[in-house]
Amino acid sequence: MDRKEAQQLVGQLLIVDLGVDGVYLGELVNVVTEPKKPWRGEVRIFSVLSLPDSIFRDDTIALHEVPYDEGDIDLFRSQQLKRRPQQIQIEPYLDSVLTDLKRRYIRLKNDVSAPSAELEALEVYIKTLTSQKRRTERTKGHNAGNDEAPFYNEYTFHFRDNHYVLVDSKGESLYLTPSHFEYVWHQQGKLVSGRYEGDGVFVRDNGVRYIPEENSVMLIDQKQFDPYYILRKELDPVALQGFEYNLQLHDVSHRDLIHCYNSLLEQLLNRENETSFQGVNFLTFQTDEHFVLVQHHFKRNLTFESGQPVYDRFEFTTDKGKRTISLYTNAFRF
């Protein structure tokens, strides 16, 4: 990107690609220009997209040698900075490290020639980091199973550039797409809820439709932006039942969730007017005795017409080497 484009991106997250030294997400703090020299970007590191290969050494992982930690600020050459594609999920630093470690673990687990020492090292480090995350969340009083009072994010409804969007107080847009998101609005003096059907129309569970006027206030419960909440909400009841059965089979429950990377949620929030989605979600469950990694492969066509294709494939892998595959489809071909 050129200097003028970079100056417009100050305050936004960019990709910092350092090649063999890793790939990171960071906030562009400032654009530094000097006469007759390429511009450079002052960036505050936010998270990791890809860890350096050099930290993986047979039976150990030198995480302390990752060159940048959360909050570190440094100057980078313009060639090292790129726009962030919207489909890249934004995660806290520790979660992003876990995501990359799990990707590597699953890739090696499926490679019969992979060194067992590195697999064992990955298991140890994933366990250690997830335990650290678990303790931190317990300290904060985090409880995934509690039923707290709704905390609503407020938006206004608009039709812009041939798209229906919700806009928050910061001016950020959320493009409306048929999905299992639940929206709340005021109607006849009370709060009612429903889903977005398409073409600017919302529908309640009782079938009553609502067409907001320009600038109407719409509310979304904050918990719906929780990756694991929306993952379960979006599953077909039979698929959810099978998923929960396999959790029990592996001696874990929803409360043991440590980390969830939800690719579908990221796509729903960032892709305009699309209804077909596919990708992979990553989940980690941990108890005091063991941990379980789950890959969730999905394909979706999120409209409310009957007979839409659904595909879910769950791959469970434990630190003891147990592997289970669960498949759900409604028999429509993709």
Asked whether residue 25 is domain-assigned, the answer is: yes
Distances in Å between the Cα of 73 and the Cα atoms of 2, 28, 30, 222 are 21, 10, 11, 30
Per DSSP, what are the bridge partners of residue 76? 41
Are 263 and 230 members of one domain? yes
Helices (H), 158-298: 227-234, 237-249, 263-270
pLDDT at 289: 79
CA–CA–CA angle 99, 104, 229 (5° rounding)? 30
Per-residue pLDDT reduced to its tens digit, 22-75: 999 999 999 999 888 899 999 999 999 999 999 998 778 888 899 999 999 999
Asked whether residue 137 is domain-assigned, the answer is: no
Rounded CA separation 214/56 (Å): 54
Q: Which of 9-13, 89-93, 226-230, 312-316 has the highest mean pLDDT?
A: 312-316
Region 125-135: mean pLDDT is 75
pLDDT at 78: 94
pLDDT at 23: 96
Number of domains in the chain: 3
CATH number at residue 49: 2.30.30
Tokens of 326: 């669960």
pLDDT at 138: 57
Per-residue pLDDT reduced to its tens digit, 236-261: 888 999 999 999 999 999 988 888 88
The helix/strand/coil state of 89 is coil
pLDDT at 146: 46
Region 167-173: mean pLDDT is 81
Asked whether residue 139 is domain-assigned, the answer is: no
Asked whether residue 94 is domain-assigned, the answer is: no
Are 29 and 55 members of one domain? yes
Are 52 and 35 members of one domain? yes
**Domain containing residue 8:** 1-84
**Average pLDDT score, the chain:** 84
pTM (2 d.p.)? 0.53
